[in-house]
Structure 1
Amino acid sequence: MAQMNMLQAINQALVIAMEQDETALVFGEDVGHFGGVFRATSGLQEAFGKDRCFNTPLTEQGILGFANGLASNGFTPIAEIQFADYIFPAFDQIVNESAKFRYRSGNEFNVGGLTIRTPYGGGIAGGHYHSQSPEAYFTQTPGIKVVIPRDPYQAKGLLLASIRDDNPVLFMEPKRLYRASVGEVPEGDYTIELGKAEVVQTGSDITLLGWGAQMEIIQKAADMAKEQGISCEVVDLRTLSPWDVPTVAESVKKTGRLLVSHEAPLTGGFAGEIAARIQQECFLYLESPIARVCGMDTPYPLIHEKEYMADEYKIFEAIVASVNF
């Protein structure tokens, strides 16, 4: 075990993947000798050469088109989109090509070796073009998995699992935690199963569900609630598509209440899908309406970032309201 931050854990996962798979290639804007804007790919070009870690032109659609071509020919492309906010020019390539490649060919061909890495989320004073959380756009697309880690240990294990999965995976990294989140991480090779939520803390009064950087905020709210005698069960979804309905439903049947929190806007956010499905699965067990504590239905504001974010105080207030309903 070693102490490392999330960037170091991601970098170590990439090194392991490239050492074990000679077809693994890392590419994107500035990922070569520069190591990417956040330095997540530092040292890869020196270690594996310019043929396996290289810069691309500034064209997200081209990055993903190139990645699809590589994956369809048996390579293991690990493509980086520098910010999730800039993934939209590649949206067509991802949802109409990457996700449908296997289906449209009748399983004759696939791009299952593709992994797309991208930093997402706010909390860094990045303004409206460097703070968005667009995960929900991709969860409606059959054929692609969506994975989001909450800490360095999860990041390394989930990224290695994503790279080795036989489906294309969108791996979204909470940029606010890149250097802020530090923890014990095995230096060797390990994976964490995709599609499985994790019960981070057991409780009896309410289930708190989230993913990524929001898990730290949720835990703070749970600690505040504990001081008021409220027992919170905390669940990290980890994989949004496909998401682990049984684990979440089992928790809600025990606690009778559910609160979902994410950074993305409320309307159309993935919390709405969770609420609808859990209402269907757990209707007779619910003691109060399912609560959603999310971002606002506005562009992500720079000067009002603190007001926009779903912080621990907003979550705590929603916990109390749910328990006292």
Structure 2
Amino acid sequence: MAKKPFGYAWLEGVAQEMRANKSVCYIGQLNIPTSTLPTGEVIDLAKEFGTVRTVRAPIDEDLNVNMSIGAAMAGLKMVAAIPSMVPHWGLEFIHNQAGSLRLMTGGQANTSFVLIVQGASRVGGPAAQHVIVGAEAAYATLPGIKVVVPSDAYNGKGLMVAAIRDADPVMFVSYSEVGSTAPVEVPDEAYTVEIGKAKVRQEGKDLTLVAWAPATIDVNKALPEIAKAGVNVEFIDLQSIKPLDTATLFASVKKTGRMLVVEHGPYVGFSSHVISEVAQFVPGAKLRKITFPDAPGPGAKEMIEWMRPDAPKILDAAVKMMTI
């Protein structure tokens, strides 16, 4: 086991599954990724598996999604990468074909594949049309599709391996800000992180704090200050937003009586769904959320920082939650 960055870890999971299962193939839009550790280990899918099992595809999201669905129906397991949070070009095929055909055919048609959605983050610099954050909420509305949002290298690799082995199509949302986090200990062998299972990162009794990447980064910065303010927080990293681990959420909120959800998406985002689920099954719980405002993400770094639900805003919201 060694410390590995996020990008290396999930790619290692892909490579290990390709070695173990010859039906696993990779489609990369414009390029096939490589990654190197400081100690010299290199993952180069194109060099190791050749052009038969790695495809350098053009900038055509419809094509890449359709190739993956067709290949799955022919018995292959595709891992396809689409950059910059633009899989909506292929949503018709994800929605009407990938998510439906297995059930429509009584299980005779296999349409399982992994779609890596390489998302940006709200960090300033790119113009608004290039900073689409929170779109995983839209993907979660698609029947028959699973959605995972890893927050570090460990669950990045584990969720990738689980997604490749899953019988359903899985959207693997990879945020660039998570890719910039510090390396963490990651096993060298293949392993899975259960899809649909949240991770309790910190146990507490006063307030349930819920987030998923990239908001987990801000929550981790806020936790020490919240503790200094005297609030004992239970922090839940969803990891998967579909299926949603409602059992873990309900158990935590029944214990604390309060839940604060932090999201980097817009005001009408997945945090609203989390709150609606808890409100139905934990009567009397105090529920709040903090998100980006209902506005496109500006390119100016200063404006992004003002809009971002960062550690000071999370601290303020957590302290105020204890007064209601």
Q: State the TM bucket, normalised to the shorter chain.
A: over 0.9
Given that 1:207 and 1:258 are in contact with CA atoms closer than 8 Å, whether structure 2 keeps it comes out as: yes
Aligned twin of 2:174:
173
Aligned twin of 1:293:
290
- Pick which of 23-32 and 239-248 moved more: 23-32
Aligned twin of 2:4:
4
Given that 1:219 and 1:234 are in contact with CA atoms closer than 8 Å, whether structure 2 keeps it comes out as: no
Aligned twin of 2:299:
302
Structure 2 residues without counterparts, runs of 5 or longer: 36-41
Aligned twin of 1:226:
227
Q: Return the alpha-carbon distance in structure 1 between the equivalents of residues 254 and 312 of structure 2.
A: 25
Q: CA deviation at 1:108?
A: 2.1
Q: Look up the equivalent residue of 1:314 and give its one-letter code.
A: K
The TM-score with structure 1 as length reference comes to: 0.93
Aligned twin of 2:18:
18
Given that 2:264 and 2:309 are in contact with CA atoms closer than 8 Å, whether structure 1 keeps it comes out as: yes
The TM-score with structure 2 as length reference comes to: 0.93
CA displacement, residues 170-205 of structure 1 (integer Å, 9 cap, x when unaligned): 000121121333111111111111111111100111
Q: Evaluate the alpha carbon distance shift between residue 154 and residue 14 of structure 1 in structure 2; reply closer, same or farther with a 3 A threshold.
A: same
Aligned twin of 2:55:
54
Helix, strand or coil: the match of 1:167? Answer: coil
Q: Return the alpha-carbon distance in structure 1 between the equivalents of residues 272 and 120 of structure 2.
A: 19
Given that 1:201 and 1:235 are in contact with CA atoms closer than 8 Å, whether structure 2 keeps it comes out as: yes
Given that 1:122 and 1:130 are in contact with CA atoms closer than 8 Å, whether structure 2 keeps it comes out as: no
Q: Return the alpha-carbon distance in structure 2 between the equivalents of residues 127 and 260 of structure 1.
A: 27
Aligned twin of 2:241:
240
Given that 1:301 and 1:308 are in contact with CA atoms closer than 8 Å, whether structure 2 keeps it comes out as: no
Q: Return the alpha-carbon distance in structure 1 between the equivalents of residues 123 and 17 of structure 2.
A: 29
Q: Return the alpha-carbon distance in structure 2 between the equivalents of residues 6 and 291 of structure 1.
A: 30
Q: Return the alpha-carbon distance in structure 1 between the equivalents of residues 305 and 94 of structure 2.
A: 32
Q: Return the alpha-carbon distance in structure 1 between the equivalents of residues 174 and 69 of structure 2.
A: 21
Q: Return the alpha-carbon distance in structure 2 between the equivalents of residues 51 and 89 of structure 1.
A: 26
Q: CA deviation at 1:9?
A: 0.3
Given that 1:147 and 1:238 are in contact with CA atoms closer than 8 Å, whether structure 2 keeps it comes out as: yes
Q: Return the alpha-carbon distance in structure 1 between the equivalents of residues 249 and 120 of structure 2.
A: 23
Aligned twin of 1:321:
320
Helix, strand or coil: the match of 2:83? Answer: coil
Q: Return the alpha-carbon distance in structure 2 between the equivalents of residues 99 and 194 of structure 1.
A: 17
CA displacement, residues 274-323 of structure 1 (integer Å, 9 cap, x when unaligned): 11110111113x2x3x1111112111111122122211111111111111
Q: Evaluate the alpha carbon distance shift between residue 83 and residue 42 of structure 1 in structure 2; reply closer, same or farther with a 3 A threshold.
A: farther
Given that 1:78 and 1:117 are in contact with CA atoms closer than 8 Å, whether structure 2 keeps it comes out as: yes
CA displacement, residues 59-94 of structure 1 (integer Å, 9 cap, x when unaligned): 10110011100011110000100121x111111111
CA displacement, residues 205-246 of structure 1 (integer Å, 9 cap, x when unaligned): 100001112112112222211001110000011110110001
Q: Return the alpha-carbon distance in structure 2 between the equivalents of residues 100 and 28 of structure 1.
A: 24
Given that 1:151 and 1:177 are in contact with CA atoms closer than 8 Å, whether structure 2 keeps it comes out as: yes
Q: Return the alpha-carbon distance in structure 2 between the equivalents of residues 306 and 192 of structure 1.
A: 32
Q: CA deviation at 1:253?
A: 0.5
- Pick which of 132-141 and 100-109 moved more: 100-109
Aligned pairs for 1:1-325 within 5 A: 1-32=1-32, 35=34, 43-84=44-85, 86-112=86-112, 114-125=113-124, 126-133=126-133, 134-267=135-268, 269-284=269-284, 286=285, 288=286, 290-303=287-300, 304-325=303-324
Aligned length: 314
Structure 1 segments of 4+ aligned residues over 4 angstroms from their partners: none
Q: CA deviation at 1:35?
A: 4.4
- Pick which of 293-302 and 253-262 moved more: 293-302
Q: Evaluate the alpha carbon distance shift between residue 316 and residue 147 of structure 1 in structure 2; reply closer, same or farther with a 3 A threshold.
A: same
Given that 2:30 and 2:59 are in contact with CA atoms closer than 8 Å, whether structure 1 keeps it comes out as: no
Q: Return the alpha-carbon distance in structure 1 between the equivalents of residues 77 and 105 of structure 2.
A: 19
User: What is the Cα-based RMSD across aligned positions, in Å?
Assistant: 1.5
